[in-house]
Amino acid sequence: MRKGELTTAGLLALFSLYLMWKSMELPVGYIRGEGPGGGAWPFWLSLIMLLSCGMIALNWWRGKSPASRSDEPLLDGYGWRTLFLVGGGIIGFVALVNVVSMYGAVAVFLLYYLRFLGRHGWPLTLAISLLTPLGMFFFFEGAMQITMPQGMAFTAPVFDVLYEIIY
């Protein structure tokens, strides 16, 4: 547990530094007449994450957190199984984005997560798995005017109907 806590904080700190460096390719300050630059939110959120990692490392060094005082392994058998099932679901989600669209991938992931990992009933699972991507579509495509990946050509009829509702 001790090594896991410090290793995770260290890896997240490195990732934070990378995101801060990468976000500086765009303006990170305030642009007069426009507002925050394109890199402002990623930069400042990454800085907050870096500071949080620093606090985790400090608490680890001082022995303040339960994990910093524990000699138990980071993950037991159940933890590894859960990591595999959830991580595999996320990898499947990412793989499906270019096939069935961002919204289709969200629907499939929610179906998998709620029904098979969470063991929720079919009515709740189907309601959330269908309404969440639909709400996301109208928010991103309609309200924000941000186009998400739409997958392969066979998903086009669904998007045609939804775009008719928006426009």
Q: Max CA-CA distance within the chain?
A: 59
pLDDT at position 79: 87
48-66 pLDDT, tens digit each: 999 999 999 999 899 888 8
Are the CB atoms for 100 and 155 separated by under 8 Å?
yes
pLDDT at position 161: 92
Are the CB atoms for 106 and 34 separated by under 8 Å?
no
**Under 8 Å CB-to-CB from 79, ≥6 apart: which residues?**
none
115-164 pLDDT, tens digit each: 999 999 999 999 999 999 999 999 999 888 888 999 998 888 999 999 99
Which is nearest to 161 in space by CA: 103, 79, 93?
103
9-25 pLDDT, tens digit each: 999 999 999 999 999 99
75-102 pLDDT, tens digit each: 888 989 999 999 999 999 999 999 999 9
